[in-house]
Structure formats: structure tokens, C-alpha cells
Amino acid sequence: MSATFEPRDPDWEARCLASFEKQPICKTLGIELTGVEPGFCEMRIPFRADLTQQHGFFHAGMVSMLADNAGGYAAYSLMPAGAEVLAVEFKINLMAPAKGDVMVARARVVKSGRTLTVCQIEVAMIDGGVEKDCALMQQTTICLLPT
């Protein structure tokens, strides 16, 4: 289920970057936007010991936060000018501990509707240069247009 998408807004890239800059939580936690294409987004976060659970790995909440955030911008890249994006719901399977140096989330749009967008997001940990699958998310976002 892979597809290529035509952006509805020629300024999609600048719009995505500007929106990302306005998220205080990304600066607070060290989340980086490392790639955005029409229907695709990659985000990364370097390991921080103060964001871990009781076993010293990234907390599951951090995994879902990175995945949800990447999915939101993959969806947003295809929305028209003036739109806002909101996550409606998501589901994540946590398949391995989030152990390593950098966490990376890659989000791909699988359905781009007028109102709703469905994304699939893969999360991996880069540990000593090796990338390992960590989690898989399905996410639904909604496009809000000014009325």
C-alpha cells in the first residue's frame, strides 16, 4: 500500500516547517524534523536519560509522541493552504524496547481524503549504527479549514 501524492498547496514545505517551529514541545524534548515530502515525514530524537522509563529506555509515551508527530506532518504536507491538522486517533504496537542512540519515525500517508487522512508510521531505534524496528502505528488525522 504505497502511493505518490500531489500536494494541494505549492507552499506545502514552508507551511510544514513553519508549523513545526511553533511546537514548543519539540524544542523541549529535542524532537527534530529530518525530512518531509508530499505524503511523507521523518522525525528523530536523540536518546536522553531523563525521558526514560524504569528500565532506562525511551518511555512508550515518547515512542507514540514521535510517531504521532511524524504522522501529523505527513498528513499536513498534503492539505490545502490555510488548513489545520488534528490527530483524531491512533493505535500503536510497541514491538521492541526503545533502546539505542536515536529514535526515528517515518510516516507515510496511505489514504488522503478531503476530510480524513490515514498514515502508517514505522518507528526504529538506531543502536550503534544499526537500525531496529521498534513500533508500528496507524493514525487518522482530520483537516480543519477556516469557515
Task: Provide the binding-site residues for its own copies, judged by CB under 8 A.
Answer: 1, 19, 22-25, 27-28, 49-55, 59-62, 64-66, 68-69, 84, 86-96, 110-111, 113, 115-116, 118, 120, 122, 133, 136, 138, 140, 142
Measured from the CB atom, is 8 or 59 closer to its own copies?
59
d(CA 81, CA 35): 20
Rounded to a whole number of angstroms, the minimum distance from the CB of residue 103 to its own copies is 13
HEC profile for 47-97?
A: CCHHHECCCCCECHHHHHHHHHHHHHHHHHCCCCCCCEEEEEEEEEEECCC
Measured from the CB atom, is 38 or 57 closer to its own copies?
57
Judge contact between 102 and 45, C-beta under 8 A: yes
Rounded to a whole number of angstroms, the minimum distance from the CB of residue 71 to its own copies is 10
Measured from the CB atom, is 88 or 101 closer to its own copies?
88
d(CA 124, CA 133): 4
Rounded to a whole number of angstroms, the minimum distance from the CB of residue 5 to its own copies is 13
Rounded to a whole number of angstroms, the minimum distance from the CB of residue 90 to its own copies is 6
Rounded to a whole number of angstroms, the minimum distance from the CB of residue 7 to its own copies is 20
Measured from the CB atom, is 34 or 52 closer to its own copies?
52
Give the Cα-Cα-Cα angle 93, 50, 68 (nearest 5 degrees): 35
d(CA 12, CA 10): 6
